[in-house]
A and B are shown apart, each in its own frame.
Chain A
Amino acid sequence: DVKVTQSSRYLVKRTGEKVFLECVQDMDHENMFWYRQDPGLGLRLIYFSYDVKMKEKGDIPEGYSVSREKKERFSLILESASTNQTSMYLCASSLVRVDQPQHFGDGTRLSIL
């Protein structure tokens, strides 16, 4: 079974802090993704990476950056957290094949006060 692990289930941070969300997958997947999920808006793609040190902007990259130094690890960084970044953050991974689904971690519920 694919295992995608996110470092925290719940996180509370303050406005202006730099926030790191970590994600690790154990299936040697090339692709990794970061989403946020908000009521009424569904899942929206923030960034994704198709290889080590490669990244591509998703639909809502503003205010975020990412890092992929190792194949199994994909980090999401909130450079200066703001209250509108309070959300559920979901990491996913997949193989490099168009018929392959993405597998999700448990999610991190982030609150910015």
Chain B
Amino acid sequence: RKEVEQDPGPFNVPEGATVAFNCTYSNSASQSFFWYRQDCRKEPKLLMSVYSSGNEDGRFTAQLNRASQYISLLIRDSKLSDSATYLCVVMRGSNYKLTFGKGTLLTVNP
């Protein structure tokens, strides 16, 4: 099993759609979880941290299921500006090293 595995995508959705990304991780000792977004030819930028109780930031909702080692990101009311690659990121234990998923490309169409 890969350390971090994401939906391969790509996802093409119309504006206003709801889209969900899923991610699984293999290391049960993982302590911290994040979603990053990366625009074409740019650096990854933190979208949101993922907490055990689930968390929401505007149109974005992140969920964590430690028992199933599963993370999700839900984007509601998609905007054209949401078009990017979304990276699921897991911290390996307590040594600050991050493992990145390969990313899922989202294209929001007018």
Contact = CB atoms under 8 A, between A and B. Distances in A.
B94 interface: yes
A102 B98 contact: yes
Interface residues of B, number: 21
Contacts, number: 46
A98 B94 contact: yes
A94 B43 contact: no
A77 interface: no
Contacts of B97: 45, 48, 58
Contacts of A94: 96
B1 interface: no
B96 A40 contact: no
Contacts of B44: 43, 90, 104
A101 B46 CA distance: 7
A35 to B, nearest CB: 8
Contacts of A42: 87, 100-103
A72 to B, nearest CB: 17
Contacts of A58: 97
Nearest to A104: B43
Given A45-B97, A90-B44, A105-B43, A98 B31 contact: yes
A101 B49 contact: yes
Interface in A59-99: 90, 94, 96, 98-99
11 contacts: A33-B98, A42-B100, A42-B103, A45-B98, A48-B96, A50-B96, A98-B31, A98-B94, A101-B46, A104-B43, A104-B44
Those 10 A-B pairs whose CB atoms lie nearest each other, nearest first: A104-B43, A42-B102, A43-B100, A101-B46, A98-B31, A107-B43, A42-B100, A99-B32, A98-B94, A101-B34
